[in-house]
Chains A and B, each alone.
Chain A
Amino acid sequence: DAKTTQPNSMESNEEEPVHLPCNHSTISGTDYIHWYRQLPSQGPEYVIHGLTSNVNNRMASLAIAEDRKSSTLILHRATLRDAAVYYCILRYNGGSQGNLIFGKGTKLSVKP
């Protein structure tokens, strides 16, 4: 599986936007970009995923570079409940193949 690189940690102020970067220079054409987050002592929570075009949902936006070698998860207004470890994961989405392999992720701290 292609690897991703994320900063170990980031800080944000409450109610401000947060841009979480992810580099995936070895991404293949069939890899989808998935983002999950994990709060302490909980299972990961699905945030968003995309292939080539930017994606929006109620939780966040995903901006994908034109060459697909990087992407950015955007939280439009951070809240204290958004403090978590955010994982950027590549997964082959063809049929039933492809497992989610977790890296170290980015620990996001949100200051009131």
Chain B
Amino acid sequence: GAVVSQHPSWVICKSGTSVKIECRSLDFQATTMFWYRQFPKQSLMLMATSNEGSKATYEQGVEKDKFLINHASLTLSTLTVTSAHPEDSSFYICSARHYRVPQYFGPGTRLTVL
């Protein structure tokens, strides 16, 4: 299957700082990228959907000013958690899709905010 990478795989930061997570589709051009969040023992929750060159569409309840998403190219999307707080600690997973092919997921980024 297609390969999606994320960087970093884990990050620890102090409360109030911002953290950027990168998501890359390595062997295909992703027309649409997605960001999910997963808390321990829970299922994945879709945060936002972005198409290359367009503004992201956020799910209800997700603060767009706190979770900044940039999808600047067909192979790269970034999620920036601004002014992170301990309650933002979670497992963040990106996903990418090219039109109708299956959606492929990255390995996830574990964020811990102290």
Contacts and interface: CB of A to CB of B under 8 A. Distances in A.
Given A96-B51, A103-B43, A43 B102 contact: no
Dominant SS at the A interface? loop
Contacts of B110: 41
Interface string B27-70: 00001101010000001111001010000000000000000000
A95 B104 CA distance: 17
A25 interface: no
Interface string B66-96: 0000000000000000000000000101010
A99 B34 contact: yes
A42 B107 contact: yes
Contacts, number: 54
A9 B107 CA distance: 23
A99 B108 contact: no
Interface in A95-112: 95-96, 99-105
B108 A43 contact: yes
A44 interface: yes
Nearest to A38: B44
A87 B46 CA distance: 14
A99 B46 contact: yes
Contacts of B104: 46
Given A44-B93, A100-B46, 10 more contacts: A34-B103, A36-B105, A42-B108, A43-B106, A43-B107, A46-B1, A46-B104, A46-B105, A96-B32, A105-B43
